Amino acid sequence: MATPAATKRLTREYATISKSPPPYIIAHPSEKNILEWHYILTGPPDTPYDGGQYWGTLMFPPDYPFAPPAIRMHTPSGRFQPSTRLCLSISDFHPKSFNPAWEVSTILTGLLSFMTSEEMTTGSVRASEAERKLFAQRTRWWNSTGGGSKAQNNGSRGAGAIKAGDGGTKFRAEWPELDEENQTWMKEKRINPQTGLPITSSSQPHCSPDMAGLRKRANGSATTVGAVVQQGQVAREAGQSWLGRNKWRIVIGTLMSYIIVARVLGDGSLSTAA
Catalytic residues: 87
Contacts of 98 (CB under 8 A, 6+ apart): 67, 68, 89, 90
Which helix (H) or strand (E) covers residue 133, if one does? helix 129-145
Determine the Cα–Cα distance for residues 119 and 9; give it in Å rounded to an integer: 31
Distance of CA 203 to the CA centre of its chain: 17
Considering just the CA atoms, what is the radius of gyration of the chain in Å?
35
Q: Burial level of 64, CB count in 10 A (0-12/13-18/19+)?
A: buried
DSSP assignment letter at 68? P
Pair 80, 115: CB distance under 8 Å: yes
Backbone angles phi, psi at 139, to 5 degrees: -65, -45
User: Which of 148, 184, 188, 186 shows the shortest CA–CA distance to 164?
Assistant: 148
Pair 64, 10: CB distance under 8 Å: yes
Cis-peptide into 69, omega within 30 deg: no
Q: Give 241's strand partners.
A: none
Q: Burial level of 71, CB count in 10 A (0-12/13-18/19+)?
A: buried
